[in-house]
């Protein structure tokens, strides 16, 4: 079983990134966690105090908001990967509507790259190998095909859900879902 990851937010409540429990523990210990949401996902035990004889512990919550100087690269455009693309499109071919196994999924460029199309979220859809080969370097209408859903660029909250997939806790998904774009297929 893979350990649950902790969702880090900015102090304003905007989703930023996924953290390991070890990284989150460091933020708690440095006093950088301003507020928390969700359930306790792990309790980290520390040493025993000589003066009180008490053992220290830190309860890690599933969602933490951090204050102070935090270094992270704010992404205006989430990185486009096949895994995230296939999840955005619910593992369904956007031409025939079939849901083949993941090894049979491909990235199709609506405007083919050979015709000046760019490799960006709004120009790509999930396609099964058969449909991608059938379309080739043509536009869908030239190949007698129709796109079943309009491609869109996910916002940060949705992208974090797309890349973490099956490891998202219910309380984390509920938080992220509130911030999904209106175009989201995950809403």
Q: Report domain extents, the chain.
A: 6-66, 82-143
**Window from 22-31, 100-109, 143-152, 157-166 with minimum mean pLDDT:** 157-166
CATH topology of domain 82-143: DNA Binding (I), subunit A (1.10.30)
- Specify the residue for token string 């859903």: 149
CA angle 89, 91, 96 (to 5 degrees): 85
pTM: 0.80
What pLDDT is recorded for position 1?
A: 41
Reply yes or no on whether the pLDDT at 75 is more than 70: no
Residue 73 — pLDDT band, cuts 50, 70, 90?
A: low
Q: What is the pLDDT of residues 162-185, one digit of tens each?
A: 988 778 899 999 999 999 988 787
């Amino acid at each position: 079983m893979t350990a649950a990851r902790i969702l880090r937010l900015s102090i304003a409540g905007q989703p930023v990134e996924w953290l390991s429990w070890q990284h989150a523990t460091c933020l708690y210990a440095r006093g950088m966690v301003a507020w928390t949401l969700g359930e306790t996902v792990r309790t980290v035990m520390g040493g025993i105090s000589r003066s009180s004889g008490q053992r220290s512990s830190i309860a890690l919550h599933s969602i933490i908001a951090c204050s102070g100087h935090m270094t992270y690269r704010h992404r205006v455009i989430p990185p486009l990967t096949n895994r995230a693309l296939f999840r955005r499109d619910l593992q369904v071919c956007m031409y025939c509507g079939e849901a083949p196994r993941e090894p049979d999924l491909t990235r199709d460029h609506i405007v083919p790259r050979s015709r000046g199309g760019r490799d960006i979220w709004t120009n790509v859809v999930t396609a099964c190998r058969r449909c991608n080969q059938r379309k080739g370097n043509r536009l869908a209408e030239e190949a007698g095909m129709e796109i079943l859903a309009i491609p869109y660029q996910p916002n940060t909250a949705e992208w974090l859900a797309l890349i973490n997939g099956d490891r998202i806790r219910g309380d984390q998904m509920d938080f992220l879902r509130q911030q999904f774009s209106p175009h989201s297929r995950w809403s």
